[in-house]
Structure 1
C-alpha cells in the first residue's frame, strides 16, 4: 500500500490473447511469473478470451491467483482483443505473450533492457534446432512478408514489449495482428528486433490448413499495398494506367499505319483490343486520381514521423559552467 492507501500501479502489464492454441494455463502462468520476476514484483497479468473457448473455466480460475480475466461475448480478432486488454491495463509498458511457449522464458526479462531508446521490441526466434518442416514453413512465410519491404524475420512470434501509446498510433485490422511491428515502424515508432532462443515445445512439427497459407499470402500482398501506396495511391494506379494506355496507343499506331498502307482493320480484333487498352488505362489512372483526392480532402493531416529530440538555444547570458544548448527526449 502507498501513502494514499491504494495499490501502486504495476510496472508492466502482461497480456495473453487466447485464440485457439493454448498450453496448460496454470503451469504456463507460473513459468511466465518466474521468468519476469527480475523485472519486479509489481506485474499484472491479463487474460482475454471468448466465453465460448473450451478452456474458459480453467483460465477463469486463474483469477484466484491475482490474474485479471476478461471475457468477450464471442471470438473476435486479436487486435480487438488486444485493444480491450490494454484499455483495462494500468501500466504504460505492455508485454504481449502467447498462451503457449514460443521462446525460452529466461529471455523475457531481458526485453525490458532492450526497450531502452525504442518504442517496441519484437522478438525473433532462433530456429537452428527447429524441425525441418517448421523451418521450411517459416522461410516461405518470411519470403512472402518480404513483399512489404520489412526487415523483420519472425512476424509469427507474438512476444513483444511496447509502450501502450504505440497502439494508439497504429491503424490495424484484426487479421493483420502479426504485422504490428511493421505498422508501428511505419507510424514513426522506433522498433527493435531481438533474436531469442526458441522454446523446446515450440519445435514440434505443426501444420495448418491450406487456406490459412493462402490467406497469409494475400495478407502480405495487401499489407505491401497499404504500406507503400496508402498515402500515394496514384503512383500505383497511375503507373498501371500509363502502361495500359501506352500499350493501347502503340497498337493503335500500328493499326493506323497498316490502314494507311491499304489494309483493312475494321474486322480485326486488334482494333477492339487497342481501344479497350486505351479506355482501361484512362479508367485505372482515374481511380488512382480519385483516391488521391479523397485522401487529400478526407483524411486528417498526420505525419508518419515522430520528433525524437528538441534542441533549444539558451540565452547567451548564462551562469558559469552552464551549457549553451539543452535538449530533451520526446
Structure 2
C-alpha cells in the first residue's frame, strides 16, 4: 500500500525537473515507505513531459498526467488528488522554491493529530512587492475566513487522503485549501518551511490573480457555511432590508399625519418601498433555496444503497 503521494502541478518547468526529482528521491528514501510522485503537466509549452517520461525510466514510482492546455493549478491539484492512492498526500510546486527536505517535518507534524499541515514561508525569498502583496492577501484571507494562518498560498502542504477527497477545488481555490479543510471541521495547522529563490523560468504568480481568488473564497465560504441553511443567510439580509424600509415609510407616514405634507420626503418614501420589496425578494429566495435543499436531502436519503 502506498503511504505517501506527492502531487506536483507544473507548467514549463523543464529545467527544474531533474533537480527536483533528485531532491525528492533523497528525501523520500529516508522515509523508507512506499510512495508515488504524480506530476500534472498543465499545458506546458516546453519539453517538461518528455523529461518526466525520461525520469520514469529510472523511477517506477513516477506517474504523469498531461493536460492538452493550461487549465490552471486548481484543476491540476484536484486531478492529482483524485489520482493519488497514498494515505497521505503531499502537494508542492515544481519550481524548486519548495524544499523536499521539509517533507519529514511536515509528516511529523501531521502525526501529532492534524488533518492538514500548511507550509509557512516566514522568510520568503521574493521581491519586496511580492512580500507586501502576500502579507495583505493573507491578512485579508484570514479576516474573511476566520482561519488564522500566515501563508495560505504556500504550495507545500500535507493532508490526509480523506481530506483531499472532500475538497472541491476550482477557479483560484487552490490558494485556500487550508480554509476549505477548516470549514469542514478538519484540524489544520502550519509549520515554518524553507523557501528558496527560483533558479529557472519566471513566476506564474500574479497580484491580480490572487485578489480575484478572493471572490472564489467568498463563494466557498458561503457554500460551506450556508449551503445546508440558505434561509439563514437570505433571511437575515432580507429581514434587515424589509425592516429598514418599513421604518423609513413609517416615518414618512408619521410626518404626513402630523404635518399634513410629505414635502422633501418623497425620495425617502421611494427608498423605503424599494428596501421592502428587495427584502421580500430575498426572503422568498431564502425560502425557495431552503425547499430545494430539503428536497435534495430527502432525495439523497431515499436513494437505495
Q: What TM-score results when the alignment is normalised by the length of structure 1? A: 0.77
Answering whether residue 107 of structure 2 is matched by residue 112 of structure 1, we say yes
Q: For residues 287 and 168 of structure 1, do their structure 2 counterparts lie closer, same or farther at Cα, with a shift above 3 Å needed? A: same
Answering whether residue 12 of structure 2 is matched by residue 12 of structure 1, we say no
Q: Could you say what secondary structure the match of 2:131 adopts? A: helix
1:65 paired residue number? 58
2:234 paired residue number? 237
TM-superposed CA distance for 1:141, in Å, is 0.7
Q: Is the 8 A contact 1:45 1:68 kept in 2?
A: yes
Alignment deviations for residues 31-58 of structure 1 (CA, whole Å, 9 cap, x no partner): 2222232112633212111455433333
Q: Could you say what secondary structure the match of 2:189 adopts? A: strand
Max Rg structure = 1
2:85 paired residue number? 90
Q: For residues 24 and 236 of structure 1, do their structure 2 counterparts lie closer, same or farther at Cα, with a shift above 3 Å needed? A: same
Answering whether residue 220 of structure 2 is matched by residue 220 of structure 1, we say no
TM-superposed CA distance for 1:22, in Å, is 6.8
**Greater shift after overlay, 58-67 or 245-254?**
58-67
Q: Could you say what secondary structure the match of 1:108 adopts? A: helix
Q: Is the 8 A contact 1:148 1:223 kept in 2?
A: no
Q: Is the 8 A contact 2:3 2:35 kept in 1?
A: yes
Q: Is the 8 A contact 2:252 2:262 kept in 1?
A: no
Q: Is the 8 A contact 1:121 1:193 kept in 2?
A: yes
1:76 paired residue number? 71
Q: Is the 8 A contact 1:148 1:227 kept in 2?
A: no
TM-superposed CA distance for 1:254, in Å, is 1.8
Q: Is the 8 A contact 1:19 1:78 kept in 2?
A: no
1:35 paired residue number? 27
How many residues are treated as equivalent by the alignment? 293
TM-superposed CA distance for 1:142, in Å, is 0.6
Q: Could you say what secondary structure the match of 1:109 adopts? A: helix
1:262 paired residue number? 260
Answering whether residue 155 of structure 2 is matched by residue 140 of structure 1, we say no
Q: Is the 8 A contact 2:11 2:44 kept in 1?
A: no
**Greater shift after overlay, 217-226 or 258-267?**
258-267
TM-superposed CA distance for 1:299, in Å, is 3.9
Q: Could you say what secondary structure the match of 1:91 adopts? A: coil
Supply the RMSD in Å over aligned alpha carbons. 3.0
**Separation in 2 of the partners of 1:68 and 1:171?**
22
Q: Is the 8 A contact 1:120 1:190 kept in 2?
A: yes
TM-superposed CA distance for 1:205, in Å, is 10
Q: Could you say what secondary structure the match of 2:36 adopts? A: strand
Q: Is the 8 A contact 2:180 2:220 kept in 1?
A: no
Q: Is the 8 A contact 1:144 1:220 kept in 2?
A: no
Q: What TM-score results when the alignment is normalised by the length of structure 2? A: 0.83
* Structure 1: gaps of 5 or more residues: 1-8, 303-330
**Greater shift after overlay, 179-188 or 264-273?**
264-273
